């Protein structure tokens, strides 16, 4: 019997046991859908992370407060509170770095602020940062309306602000935000400009839910006194990045007054290293998703094997008749194997469509556009083929070994 005839026989058998086949196909579809959906989503998030950090450039690094834990006695852990980077230290570094690079400084003032304009207000999820005039360029932001901060704004600590797109849409749905006065906690700030949307980076729109103020204004009106300042250095020539990091490292140790043998109480982190760390953290999610998909497929394989065994029992007379008419063991075995593979591939196709819908839904949410993950689609079809062959092999062999005389006697 040819492959075409085997497939036709398989489809006829599927139609005669439609309910059981649909249930099995759904189990397979859920497993494949979970697998393809999660892996496609991870690809989308990796693309979003890479794109987000590439805007900051691979030629930049950050000097930030070091965080960590210390071990005592091999069992207990105590959190080490390293010294925060002060405003004075950040200013000394900015003025003291003698290298062809742009230096910016910033501080996180609040993460749950509420911004008000008249009777309108945002949810209490607005991030407030103090920045200098170089921050936007180094961090990959652009001004959509209005202007950036000037050195005068920074030097005089003027009460001005740059707002993210989400804040502008919430407070000024129809009006021009520029030169309007908003309130952040108890501070009154005039809107100098609106930032271009950064979209949903890594599945979150936090890049558009923010208010930026001059770093001096933040110190005077919004700071709690416990902030640690982050310093970003962007070199003009990417090939000199290591040299810039070495010079910055030595300069900041001098600023901190660290002796030769003293351990660092700050750290230098490359922007692309942050992206790599974020992508590495997604690997565990991918492993978990793959395991979920495989476990689901294992359940589907058991279910499919059960259906095929029932099918062999129900079609014993049919098998006996076919053997009496000259069908060989190989013909019978191939027929049942084909049925199992057809059922698996039908479930696989449904699962791939489901996975593409899930994965691309997340892909569109994080702003990476439509994705067609051909490698995961090929993997899904391959897995379905393996599951079909493995789960159908025993029932097929059992059917092929039936004695035709005993099979014809079966009622």
DSSP labels for 251-285?
HHHHHHT--TTPPPSEEEEEHHHHHHHHHHHHHHH
293-320: burial string, b at 16+ Cβ within 10 Å, e else: beebbeebbebbbebbbebbeebbebbb
The answer to whether position 63 is within a domain reads no
Residues 186 and 176: their CA atoms lie apart, in Å, by: 23
Tens-binned pLDDT, residue by residue, of the chain (411 aa): 466 666 676 667 667 667 777 877 887 888 788 778 877 877 777 666 666 555 555 678 888 887 644 443 444 444 455 778 989 999 999 999 988 888 999 999 998 899 999 899 999 989 999 999 989 888 878 899 999 999 999 999 999 999 999 999 999 988 899 999 999 988 999 999 999 887 654 444 467 899 999 999 998 888 877 788 999 998 877 778 889 889 999 999 999 988 888 888 888 887 766 566 666 666 776 777 677 777 777 777 777 777 777 767 766 776 677 667 677 777 777 777 777 788 788 888 888 888 888 888 877 776 666 777 787 788 887 877 887 777 777 777 777 776 665 555 555
> Are residues 310 and 351 both part of a single domain?
yes
Are 157 and 199 in a shared domain? yes
Same domain, 24 and 149: no
Verify that 362 and 297 share a domain, yes or no.
yes
| DSSP state at residue 201 | B
pLDDT (0 to 100) of residue 76: 45
Q: Pick from 264, 290, 319: which residue ends a domain?
A: 264
Q: Is 238 helix (H, G, I), strand (E, B) or coil?
A: helix
Distance (Å, rounded) from C-alpha 154 to C-alpha 129?
A: 13
Domain identity same for 101 and 9: no
Domain assignment present for 78: no
Assigned domain for 60 exists: no
Q: What are phi and psi of 89, to 5 degrees?
A: -65, -40
Domain of 156, in residue numbers = 83-264
Predicted local confidence at residue 248, as pLDDT: 92
- Three-state SS for 165? helix
- The count of domains in the chain is 2
Inside any domain, residue 65 = no
Q: Do the strands 160-163 and 187-195 form a parallel or antiparallel pair, or are they unpaired? A: parallel
One domain for residues 245 and 284: no
Which of 210, 235, 264 lies at the terminal end of a domain, its last residue?
264
Do 100 and 213 reside in the same domain of the chain? yes
b/e map of 250-279 (b: 16 or more CB within 10 Å)? Answer: ebbbebbeeeeeeeebbebebbbebbeebe
Question: What one-character DSSP code corresponds to residue 191?
Answer: E
Residues 27 and 147 in one domain: no
CA atoms of 305 and 341, how far apart (whole Å): 11
- Pick the last residue of a domain from 224, 241, 264: 264
Any residues with CB less than 8 A from the CB of 277 and at least 6 apart, and which?
A: none
Residue 58 in any domain: the answer is: no
101 and 245 fall within a common domain: yes
Domain match, 29 and 89 both: no
pLDDT value of residue 120: 92
Say what the pTM is: 0.57
Whether residue 297 is found in the same domain as residue 233: no
3-state secondary structure of 384: helix
Is 378 found in the same domain as 318? yes
């Amino acid at each position: 019997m040819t492959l075409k005839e085997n497939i036709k026989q398989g489809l006829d058998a599927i139609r005669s046991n439609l309910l059981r086949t649909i249930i099995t196909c759904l189990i397979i579809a859920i497993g494949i859908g979970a697998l393809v959906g999660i892996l496609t989503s991870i690809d989308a998030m990796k693309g979003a992370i890479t794109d987000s950090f590439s805007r900051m450039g691979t030629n930049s690094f950050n000097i930030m407060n070091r965080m960590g834990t210390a071990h005592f006695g091999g069992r207990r852990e105590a959190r080490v509170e390293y010294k925060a980077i002060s405003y004075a230290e950040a200013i000394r570094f900015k003025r003291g770095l003698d290298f062809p690079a742009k230096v910016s400084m910033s501080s996180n003032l609040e993460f749950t602020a509420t911004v008000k304009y008249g009777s309108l207000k945002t949810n209490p999820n607005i991030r407030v940062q103090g920045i200098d005039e170089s921050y936007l360029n180094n961090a990959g932001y652009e001004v959509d309306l209005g202007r950036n901060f000037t050195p005068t704004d920074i030097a005089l600590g003027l009460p001005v602000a740059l707002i993210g797109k989400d804040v502008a849409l919430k407070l000024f749905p129809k009006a021009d935000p520029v030169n309007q006065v908003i309130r952040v906690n108890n501070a009154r700030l005039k809107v100098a400009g609106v930032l271009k949307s950064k979209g949903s980076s890594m599945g979150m729109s936090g890049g558009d839910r923010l208010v930026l103020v001059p770093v001096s204004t933040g110190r005077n009106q919004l700071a709690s006194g416990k902030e640690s300042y982050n310093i970003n250095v962007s070199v003009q020539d990417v090939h000199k990045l290591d040299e810039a990091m070495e010079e910055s490292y030595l300069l900041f140790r001098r600023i901190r007054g660290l002796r030769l043998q003293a351990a660092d109480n700050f750290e230098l982190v490359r922007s692309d290293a942050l992206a790599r760390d974020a992508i590495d953290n997604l690997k565990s999610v991918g492993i978990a998703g793959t395991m979920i998909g495989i476990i689901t497929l294992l359940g589907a394989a058991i279910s499919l094997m059960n259906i095929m065994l029932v099918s062999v029992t129900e079609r014993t007379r049919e098998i006996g008749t076919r053997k009496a008419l000259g069908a060989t063991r190989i013909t019978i075995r191939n027929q049942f194997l084909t049925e199992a593979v057809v059922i698996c591939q039908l479930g696989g196709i449904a699962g791939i469509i489901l996975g593409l819908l899930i994965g691309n839904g997340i892909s569109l949410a994080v702003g990476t556009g439509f994705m067609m993950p051909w490698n995961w689609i090929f993997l899904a079809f391959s897995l379905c083929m393996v599951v079909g062959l493995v789960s159908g092999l025993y029932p097929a062999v059992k059917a092929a070994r039936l004695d035709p005389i005993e099979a014809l006697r079966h009622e």
